[in-house]
């Protein structure tokens, strides 16, 4: 598994296990997280804190937009610009 | 820190407390021993202590956290926090302190972080000088505990945006020169389609109205704003389209971390007053402090105050580290609210009938304390956030 795939899988696991808390939910890298209702505003704060901790990056509030957090793929793409 | 620096800071904090005692206390600003009764004061501009606000501005208080570039003092969060506690130690008008906090942490912080240079020049400079007052227009009649469940819309036009909707329970709306308004620019994106706007009160279609009287904090008047085809220029947008939810979350973190900082000073005054009263109020030949039912209450008040101080210092450190987790801020908000509420009940019990009198600050402190269990997200909501961060 290369690095982006591993990162996508790690993010997916956190969202499914820690936020949705339902392993039966199937989320693909392109699933719509925000509009699909998987991430509310509380969850986004948790996810941001987790990503900052996991990948040793700072995610400024200016970047918490749908284009960066709309899907696991977009999160991964965004992180690649921050590392 | 060098001893002479410590002495200098100590003297400055003392001068802030002295200023607050002299110029900001209810008896001095409203000319009565207590604030106007809620049914008389309502939430109109009449209940707002304009002279005290101006006195604060002349003392530079609204600009404590503002960079010197925009006419402020540029103090660090930690230094501002100490000054706010010194202010609370001397000022018995909790509504005024609350109003100052909503400006510093809710409005100025938003514009300093997300605003353009011209927005900072216009609004931050105006707010810091005391010339301007801003309202934070989030709530709507149907939004409930989910503050971002908005109906208010902002439709883009060739010139800017047209806003329509109703905003409620806005602190300082009756006296605000402008408001930070959240509205949807893209309904399909839900809360991620919310944007924030700086809307001047003189704009056609912006109608502010006072709300019904509140239980406490009456010198911070509350109101609603009707936005009826309210057209604003593109330059009214704060940050980017769709950034509203993130701006809101960011401000919640700052407000919950610092809005109650002055109450550490208020609780210290409350504690000092209770100690003095208990030692000097003699019944049946002994001061009431000799009774454990009294001394234990006071001991508990001191424990709560010191716990709050520790959590406050921790929250400031987290803000300085630029961490966005709201976990500690939620704990702090609950802790200060519940400590102040219980300490106010204990103060009333210690002072007895005098504590229950509307001519003293004790009953008012209790009414004011309850306000902080509601605003900035109810304590129940804070516990939801804490539980969520614990993975529950």
- Check B35, B140, B255, B341 and give the catalytic one: B255
Q: Which of A18, A45, A58 sits opposite B391 (nearest CB)?
A: A18
Q: Which of B243, B246, B389 sits opposite A46 (nearest CB)?
A: B389
Are B301 and B368 within one domain? yes
CB B235 within 8 A of CB B119: yes
Does B243 contact A41 at a Cβ distance shorter than 8 Å?
A: no
User: What digits encode the pLDDT tens for the residues B256-312?
Assistant: 999 999 999 999 999 999 999 999 999 999 999 999 999 999 999 999 999 999 999
Q: Give residue B39's pLDDT band: very low, low, confident or very high (50, 70, 90).
A: very low
Q: For residue B186, is it within any domain? A: yes
- CATH number, domain at B45? 1.10.540.10
Q: Which of A42, A61, A66 sits opposite B388 (nearest CB)?
A: A42
Size of the A and B interface in Cβ pairs below 8 Å: 65
Q: Which of A48-52, B1-5, B225-229 has the highest mean pLDDT?
A: B225-229
Mean pLDDT taken over chain B: 92
Which residues span the domain enclosing B110? 3-132
B interface residues, A as partner, C-beta within 8 Å: 113-114, 148, 188-193, 239-240, 242-243, 245-250, 322-326, 384-385, 388-389, 391
Neighboring chain A residues of B192 at a CB cutoff of 8 Å = 34-35, 65-66, 69-70
Reply yes or no on whether the pLDDT at B34 is more than 50.
Answer: no
Locus of tokens 């605000």: B176
Phi, psi of B138 (to 5 degrees): -110, -60
Complex ipTM, two decimals? 0.89
The confidence score (pLDDT) of residue A2 equals 57
N residues, chain B: 392
The confidence score (pLDDT) of residue A1 equals 47
Neighboring chain B residues of A59 at a CB cutoff of 8 Å = 324
pTM of this structure: 0.92
User: What digits encode the pLDDT tens for the residues B334-348?
Assistant: 999 999 999 999 999
* Mean pLDDT score, B232-250: 96
CB B130 within 8 A of CB B64: no
The confidence score (pLDDT) of residue B37 equals 42
Q: Is B255 a catalytic residue?
A: yes
CB B59 within 8 A of CB B86: no
Number of structural domains (chain B) is: 3
- CATH number, domain at B224? 2.40.110.10
The confidence score (pLDDT) of residue B30 equals 52
The confidence score (pLDDT) of residue B20 equals 96
The confidence score (pLDDT) of residue B190 equals 87
Superfamily of domain A3-82: ACP-like (1.10.1200.10)
User: What digits encode the pLDDT tens for the residues B117-159?
Assistant: 999 999 999 999 999 999 999 999 988 767 888 999 999 999 9
Higher pLDDT, B325 or B53: B53
Reply yes or no on whether the pLDDT at A44 is more than 70.
Answer: yes
Mean pLDDT taken over chain A: 88
Reply yes or no on whether the pLDDT at B77 is more than 50.
Answer: yes
Range of lowest pLDDT (B5-9, B194-198, B251-255, B294-298):
B5-9
The confidence score (pLDDT) of residue B41 equals 40
Select from B97, B132, B167 the last residue of a domain.
Answer: B132
The packing angle between helices B244-258 and B327-351, to 10°, is 40
Does B189 contact A59 at a Cβ distance shorter than 8 Å?
A: no
How far is the C-alpha of B140 from the C-alpha of B166, rounded, in Å? Answer: 6
The residues spanned by each domain of chain A are 3-82
How far is the C-alpha of B191 from the C-alpha of A34, rounded, in Å? Answer: 8
- CATH number, domain at B270? 1.20.140.10
């Amino acid at each position: 598994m290369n690095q982006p795939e591993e990162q996508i899988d790690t993010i997916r696991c956190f969202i499914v296990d820690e936020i949705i808390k339902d392993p039966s939910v199937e989320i693909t890298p392109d699933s719509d997280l925000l509009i699909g209702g998987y991430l509310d505003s509380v969850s986004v704060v948790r996810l941001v804190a987790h990503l900052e901790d996991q990948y040793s990056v700072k995610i400024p509030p200016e970047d918490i937009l749908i284009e960066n957090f709309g899907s696991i793929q977009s999160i991964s793409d965004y992180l690649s610009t921050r590392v | 820190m060098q001893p002479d620096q410590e002495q200098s800071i100590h003297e400055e904090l003392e001068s802030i407390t002295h200023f607050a005692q002299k110029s900001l206390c209810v008896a001095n600003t409203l000319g009565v021993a207590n604030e106007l009764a809620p049914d008389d004061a309502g939430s109109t501009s009449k209940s707002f202590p304009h002279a005290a606000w101006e006195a604060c501005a002349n003392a530079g208080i609204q600009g404590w956290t503002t960079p010197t570039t925009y006419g402020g003092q540029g103090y660090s969060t930690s230094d501002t926090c100490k000054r706010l506690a010194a202010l609370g130690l001397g000022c018995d008008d909790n509504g005024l302190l609350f109003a100052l906090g909503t400006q510093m942490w809710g409005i100025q912080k938003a514009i300093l972080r997300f605003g353009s240079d011209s927005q900072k020049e216009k609004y931050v400079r105006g707010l810091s000088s005391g010339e301007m007052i801003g309202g934070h227009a989030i709530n709507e009649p149907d939004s409930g505990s989910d503050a971002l469940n908005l109906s208010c819309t902002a439709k883009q036009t060739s010139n800017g945006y047209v806003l329509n909707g109703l905003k409620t329970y806005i602190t300082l709306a009756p006296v605000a020169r402008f408001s930070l308004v959240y509205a949807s620019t893209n309904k399909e994106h839900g809360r991620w389609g919310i944007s924030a706007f700086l809307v001047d009160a003189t704009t056609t279609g912006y109608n502010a109205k006072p709300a019904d009287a509140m239980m406490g904090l009456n010198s911070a008047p509350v109101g609603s704003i009707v936005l009826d085809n309210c057209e604003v220029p593109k330059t009214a947008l704060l940050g980017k389209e769709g950034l509203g939810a993130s701006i809101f979350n960011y401000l919640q973190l700052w407000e919950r971390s610092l809005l109650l900082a002055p109450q550490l000073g208020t609780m210290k005054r409350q504690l000092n007053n209770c100690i003095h009263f208990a030692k000097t109020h003699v019944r049946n030949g002994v001061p009431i402090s000799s009774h454990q039912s009294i001394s234990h209450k006071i001991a508990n008040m001191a424990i709560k105050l010191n716990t709050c101080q520790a959590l406050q210092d921790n929250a400031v450190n987290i803000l300085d580290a630029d961490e966005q987790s709201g976990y500690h801020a939620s704990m702090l908000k609950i802790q200060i609210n519940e400590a102040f509420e219980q300490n106010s009940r204990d103060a009333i019990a210690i002072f007895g009938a005098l504590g229950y009198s509307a001519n003293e600050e004790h009953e008012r402190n209790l009414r004011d304390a309850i306000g902080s269990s509601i605003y900035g997200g109810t304590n129940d909501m804070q516990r939801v956030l804490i539980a969520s961060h614990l993975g529950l």
